[in-house]
Structure 1
Amino acid sequence: MLDSLKKALTERALNAEMDHHLATGEGAGNTRNGYGRKTVMTETGKLEIDVPRDRQSSFDPQLIAKYQRRFPGFDEKIVSMYARGMSTREITGHLRDLYGIDVSPDLISTVTDAVLDEVATWQQRPLDPVYPLVFFDAIRVKIRDEGMVRNKAIHIALGVRADGTKEVLGLWLEQNEGAKFWLRVMNELRNRGVEDILLAVVDGLKGFPDAITAVFPEAIVQTCIVHLLRNSMDFVSWKDRKGLATALKEIYRATDADAAEKALTAFEASPWGQRYPAIGQNWRRAWGEVIPFFAFPDDVRRIIYTTNAIEA
C-alpha cells in the first residue's frame, strides 16, 4: 500500500544524488542519460525503482549501490519521512542512517533538501471531494530522537474510492493523540478538498468519533472490531483467551444490531461475562460505534472489520 511513497522518495533522493554528482568536479562535462530500472528487496517485498544514469557512466549511487539487491531498514525510515510532524533534524538523521557514515555532509544536505520538497508536495496535494470509506490507523516505526532510537506511532488515513482504489491521504507523527490532534487532522483533510466521508473506521480512541463528526457531520463512525477484541483480551488471562474469543464471536457475527445486543447481554450474564465484567462494559461504552457494522452485508463487513487494510 505504501510502495508508491517509498518509490517516489527513493527516486527523488537518487536524482538529488545525481545533481550533486554532476555539480562536483568528478561530474564536470558530464550530463544525464535517462534511467535504468532496478529491483530491490525491502522488508515488505520487491520494489522497482528508476535509477538515473549519466553519459560517462561515472555515477555510483550511494543510497542503493549498483550491485545492491537488499535494502534492510528501509521501509519504516522512508515512510516515516512523509509524516507531518517529522522535523528536518529527524529527516536528516534518517538519511544519515540510510546512507551510512562515508558520505559527505554536502550530499546529505542536497538529498535532505530534495526529500523535504518531495514530502511537502505530497503532504499538501489536493484530495478527492468524497471518500466512501476511510480507515484511520497507526503503524509503529523506529525514529532517532536526540541520539536515541525510539518506537513512535505514525498515524495514517487510508481512503477508499468508489471504484475500490486506495490512497494514503496523510501520515502524522504525534505524541499526544487526543481529540485536539484528530480535530486538526480532520480539518487538514477538509482544507485539502475532502467534503465528505461516508464511513470512517477507527481504532476506538477516546474523542476520535467526535473529532470526525465535528468536521464531517454526515460521516458514520465504525469502531474497528479487531481493536475492540484486542482490548477485550487485555482483561483476560492467557489460558482463557481462546474460549473467550469464541464467546465474543456470537456478538460480532450476529445477523443484525438487535441480535448483537441480545448476544452481548447473554455474554454479560454468562460465566465468561461474570468472570470478566470489564469486557462487557468495554463493549457497552463503544456500542454506538459498533452497531453500524450490522447494517452492512457480509462482504462489506469483511472489509470494515479491521483497520488493517493498510497491510492488505
Structure 2
Amino acid sequence: MTQTSFEAPIAGDDVTSDEVVNRLLAQADSTGRQLVGPGGLSTQLTQKVLERALDAEMADHLGYEPGDPAGNGSGNSRNGRSRKTVLTDIGPVEVTVPRDRNGTFTPQAVRKRQRRLDGLNDAIVSLYARGMTVRDIRAHLDELYGVDVSPDLVSKVTDAVADEIGQWQNRALDPVWAVLFVDAMWVKIRDGVVTNRPVYVVVGVDFTGAKHVLGLWIGKDGEGAKYWMAVLAELRNRGVTDVCFVCCDGLPGLPQAVTTVWPEAIVQTCVVHLIRSSMRYASKRDIALVNAGLKPIYTAPTVQAATDALDALDALEDSVLGRRYPAIVRLWRNAWTELTPFLAYPEPVRRVIYTTNMIESLNARLRKATRNRGAFPTEQAALKTLFLTIRTMTRPDEAVGVTRSNGWKATLNAFAIQFGDRININR
C-alpha cells in the first residue's frame, strides 16, 4: 500500500475537536484528496486508529513498549507485521497487524480471520430490515463505499439473528396484560408454488403502558379456531395467565379461542375496522350520510344507550339509504356481540381498546419491508425480515419490539377500578 503524508491525530486528541477537523480539512485542501469515500482521508484515519489500537494491544500483551529494555529476556518479542484488508462501513481499509514471536497474541480491534468490522454487519442488517433486496444492498455498498460483498455474505450476516429470533419468540411473558391486539398481514412464500400466507401479529399493552410485540406466527389461509387455539396456548405456556381485553378485526375462530384460553377476557371488535368495512359498501356521495346514521351507535355513552341506538339502525335499514346498502346494516348486526363491550367502560379505557390502529401502524412498517422482496423462499426468511424490521423500530434502551404509550396514568386508574384484583402493577 502506498504511504501518504497523512497525519493522524496524536494520542489524547479528541477526533471530533475543531483542531483535528481543521487539520483534516487542511490536508484535504493541500493534497486534493477527498475526506470520505475509497482512499479518502477518513479511510486513512480509520487505518491509523486501528493500527494504533493494535499496537497498544501488543504492548499490553508483551508488557513493554517498543524499544523498552524491559523486554530483554522476557521470552517473547515483536515479530514484524502482516497485512490484511477489512471491510468497514466507510469502505475497505488495509491495516498492518503486529505479530509476536511466540504466536500467542490475539488482537481484539481486528480479530484473527476477521474480514468485516461490526459496523459493516450492522449496516447490512439495517438495509435488509428496511426492505432492500440482496441485490440492492450489494449495489448500495458498492456505490457508497466501494465495498463488493457477495450474496452469501449478506445471507450469512442476516442469518446470524436466527438464534435471537428463537429466543425472542420463546421468551417468558408477564402473567397479566391490559390489552392484546391481534391482526394479520399477508406475505408471499414460495413453497413449491407461490402462495399468500397470513402473518399473525400479537401486540400486548402492559400495565405500565408499554407496548410489546409478543410474537409472529405464519399460518395458512383458511385456518380458524384450531389455529388460534394453538397460538393462544403458546402465549399461555409462555406465562400469560389473564388478559383484560383482546382487540381484533373479526378474525375467524378467534373469539371462541380467546374465551377458551382466558375465560375472563373480553373480546372487542375494532370499531374503526367496522366503519371502514361499512364504507366499502357505500358510494362516495353517500359516505357522510351513512356515517351520520352509524355514529350514534359507536359514540353511545353506555351499553343501554347503544341498545337504544339500535332504533336508529332500524330506521337506517328501513330508509332509502338502508335499502340501497343492506350489507352495512347486516355487518353491524352480526358484529354486535363483540362490538359493544367497550361501551360499558369509561373513556380512558375506550380510547385504548376501540381500535387496532396501533398494531396496523406496525403492520404498515412490516408490509413496507416485505413489499420489494416478491416471494420469500421459506417461512424462516420471512420471519427474519419481519423480526429485523421490528428490531430497527425499537429504541436502543428498550427490548426488541417495545414502545411506550403517552398519557397512560388515567387509563391505569380506570383499569384498576374496573378490574380490581385481576391486575397487580407491582409485578
Greater strand percent: which structure?
A: 1
Please show how residues 183-262 of structure 1 align to structure 2 within 5 Å. Answer: 183-262=229-308
Match of 1:160 in 2: 205
Return the match for 1:107 from 135, 153, 159: 153
- Local SS of the residue matching 1:159: strand
The question of whether the paired residues in 2 share the 8 Å contact of 1:127 and 1:193 is answered with yes
Q: 1:75 to 1:217 in 2, by over 3 A?
A: farther
1:7-156 equivalences under 5 Å are 26=85, 31-33=107-109, 59=116, 62=120, 71=127, 74-75=129-130, 96=134, 99-100=137-138, 103-104=149-150, 106-108=152-154, 110-140=156-186, 143=188, 145=190, 153-156=198-201
Structure 1 residue 261: Cα displacement: 2.1
Contact 2:189 2:197 in 1 (8 A): no
- Give the alignment's Cα RMSD to 1 decimal: 3.5
1: distance between equivalents of 2:348 and 2:208? 15
The counterpart of 2:224, out of the listed 171, 178, 184, is 178
Query: Contact (CA 8 Å) 1:268, 1:277: kept in 2 or not?
Result: no
Task: Check 1:98–1:64 CA distance in 2 against 1; reply closer, same or farther (3 A cut).
Answer: farther
CA deviation after TM superposition for structure 1 residue 276, in Å: 2.0
SS at match of 1:306: coil
Aligned counterpart, 1:291: 340
Q: Match of 1:188, SS?
A: helix
After TM superposition, give the deviation of residue 136 of structure 1 in Å. 0.7
Residues in 2 aligned to 1:63 and 1:250: alpha-carbon distance in whole angstroms: 55
- For 1:216 and 1:135, the matched residues in 2 are separated by 15
- Contact persistence 1:62–1:99 (CA under 8 A): no
Letter in 2 for 1:114: A
Kept in 2, the 8 Å contact 1:124–1:192? The answer is yes
Alpha-carbon offset, residue 264 of structure 1: 2.6
**Kindly tell me: are residues 98 and 181 of structure 1, through their superposed partners in 2, closer, same or farther at Cα, counting changes over 3 Å?**
farther
Distance in 2, Cα, partners of 1:97 & 1:211? 43
The CA distance in 2 between the partners of 1:275 and 1:238, in whole Å, is 13
Deviation (angstroms), 1:301: 1.2
| Superposition deviation, residue 286 in structure 1 | 1.4
Distance in 1 (CA, whole Å) between partners of 2:213 and 2:135 is 25
Q: Distance in 1 between matches of 2:198 and 2:224?
A: 13
Q: Which has the larger radius of gyration?
A: 2
Deviation at 1:76, TM superposition (A): 5.6
Report the alpha carbon displacement of residue 233 of structure 1 after superposing the two structures with TM: 1.8
- Measure, in 1, the Cα distance between the counterparts of 2:197 and 2:185: 8
Q: Check if 1:300 corresponds to 2:346.
A: no
Cα distance in structure 1, aligned partners of 2:213 and 2:242: 16
The question of whether the paired residues in 1 share the 8 Å contact of 2:170 and 2:238 is answered with yes
SS in 1 for 2:161: helix
2: CA distance, partners of 1:277 / 1:261:
20
Unaligned regions of 5+ residues in structure 2, if any? 1-83, 87-96, 100-105, 140-147, 363-427
Instruction: Letter of the 1:211 partner, please give it.
Output: A
> Secondary structure of 2:232's match?
helix
Contact kept, 8 Å, 1:63 with 1:98, in 2: the verdict is no
Paired with 1:186 and 1:146, the residues of 2 have a C-alpha distance of: 26
- Hey, what's the Cα distance between the residues in 2 that align with 1:191 and 1:122? 14
Distance in 2, Cα, partners of 1:31 & 1:204: 58
User: How far apart are residue 160 of structure 1 and its match?
Assistant: 0.7
Change (3 A) 1:268 1:278: farther
- 2: CA distance between counterparts of 1:65 and 1:211? 42
Scaled by the length of structure 1, the TM-score of the pair is: 0.68
**Which residue pairs with 2:323 in the alignment?**
274
Contact 1:183 1:211 in 2 (8 A): yes
Q: Tell me by how many angstroms 1:32 deviates.
A: 4.0
TM-score of the superposed pair, with normalisation by structure 2: 0.51
Cα deviations by residue, 1:24-65 (Å, 9 ceiling, x for unpaired): x756887444xxxxxxxxxxxxxxxxxxx879x974655565
Relative to structure 1, the CA distance from residue 65 to residue 209 in structure 2 (aligned partners, 3 Å threshold; closer, same or farther) is closer
Structure 2 CA distance for partners of 1:216 and 1:65, relative to 1, 3 Å = closer
Distance across 2 between alignment mates of 1:246 and 1:105: 56
Which residue of 2 is the match for residue 309 of structure 1? 358
Shift of the 150–74 alpha-carbon distance from structure 1 to 2, 3 Å rule, reads farther
The whole-number CA distance in structure 2 between the counterparts of 1:31 and 1:243 is: 73
Structure 1 unaligned residues grouped into runs of 5+: 1-24, 34-52, 78-93
